[in-house]
């Protein structure tokens, strides 16, 4: 399946999951995403925090609450 945003993004990460065991099928993809998000945060800490604050304001506006 192709990312619906593939035409408007600068970078598109495509992965494939082929596994008979469901528990192991997403580990590599989640690990890769976690590393990428960590690096993005490390390089753009101020911008990332501002973006998270903006998202929280939007969530509050529409009544979306955190369950954690």
Q: Each residue of 31-50: pLDDT tens digit?
A: 888 898 889 889 999 998 89
Average pLDDT estimate for 17-36: 74
| pLDDT cut 70: percent of the chain above it | 74
DSSP H/E element including 36: helix 27-43
Average pLDDT estimate for 11-18: 70
Average pLDDT, the chain: 79
Half-sphere exposure in the Cβ direction for 53 (13 Å, CA): 6
pLDDT surpassing 60 at residue 61: yes
Residue 66: Cβ-neighbour burial (10 angstroms; 0-12, 13-18, 19+): exposed
């Amino acid at each position: 399946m192709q990312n619906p945003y593939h035409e408007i993004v600068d970078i598109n990460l495509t992965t494939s999951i082929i596994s008979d065991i469901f528990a192991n099928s997403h580990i590599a993809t989640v690990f890769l995403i976690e590393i990428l998000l960590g690096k993005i945060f490390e390089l753009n800490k101020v911008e990332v925090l501002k973006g998270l604050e903006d998202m929280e304001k939007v969530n509050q506006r529409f009544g979306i609450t955190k369950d954690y």
